[in-house]
Amino acid sequence: MSDYKKLNIKDWAVEDRPREKLLSNGARSLSDAELIAILIGSGNTDETAVELSRRILTAVGNKLNDLGRKNTDFLQSFNGIGEAKAVTIMAALELGKRRKEADVFDKNKITGSKDVADFFQPILGDLNHEEFWIMLLNRGNKIIDTFMISKGGISGTVIDVRLILKNALEKMASSIILCHNHPSGTMQASDADLQITRKIKHAAEIMDITVLDHLIIGNNNYLSLADEGILN
């Protein structure tokens, strides 16, 4: 029989315990695994919370963005992670996304494609399906509103141009920005992407509304049709 005995976090030196480490040195001093360990509180009979957290991160290549794409079923496949702990982890990851989104809203002004990407990346970057969103801007390029227009993919979903223009006119928007994601991560505009861009752009021009850009969001990257000179 093995003499191995798992050390509980309470048995660790005080400076090595995640909670105490955070209080004394700040959150930035903790590894991703230690932060997750604080969320889940405990491990299992064979692993401390930190060891379990490290194993979860290893399963996603130590990439938090990839962990954010997983669901509760994935998390609950690890011994020691029940529904409550899985939900806690997912809630924390979602707060991180919303914080980044809020930074752009606080700024409230779009100065280039990166601002748009920073706004939509937390919303679209982790999805396993396509969504098509619209951003409405006033004459000062400040954000008036954003809304989803379709879900499930451009080629398989009817984009209602009338609904887009109706919202833009009701909110007195001077310009709009189109955005959708490619779950595959392919950063290339398809024929369908270009066709729907032209359709919306031409319809908006009749209403004196400008389509400034169409962004394709991937996992940690993006493509701007305006930057690429193919917004036509």
Dist CA 53 CA 48 (whole Å): 8
Q: Is the dihedral of CA 110, 115, 121, 122 positive or negative?
A: negative
Q: Give the H/E segment covering residue 222.
A: strand 222-224
The residue extents of the domains of the chain are 9-98, 108-224
pLDDT category, 152, cuts 50, 70, 90? confident
Confidence of residue 15 (pLDDT cuts 50, 70, 90): very low
> Which tokens hold the place of 191?
């024929």
Residues 214, 177 contacting (CB under 8 angstroms): yes
What residues are paired with 14 via a beta bridge?
none
Place of tokens 């939509």: 120
CA distances from 205 to 144, 146, 157, 189 (A): 19, 20, 23, 22
pLDDT in tens, 40-77: 988 898 888 899 999 999 999 898 878 887 889 999 99
Cα 43 to Cα 37: distance, rounded to the nearest angstrom: 8
What is the CATH architecture assignment of 108-224?
A: 3-Layer(aba) Sandwich (3.40)
pTM attached to this predicted model: 0.61
Q: Rounded distance, CA 202 to CA 134, Å?
A: 16
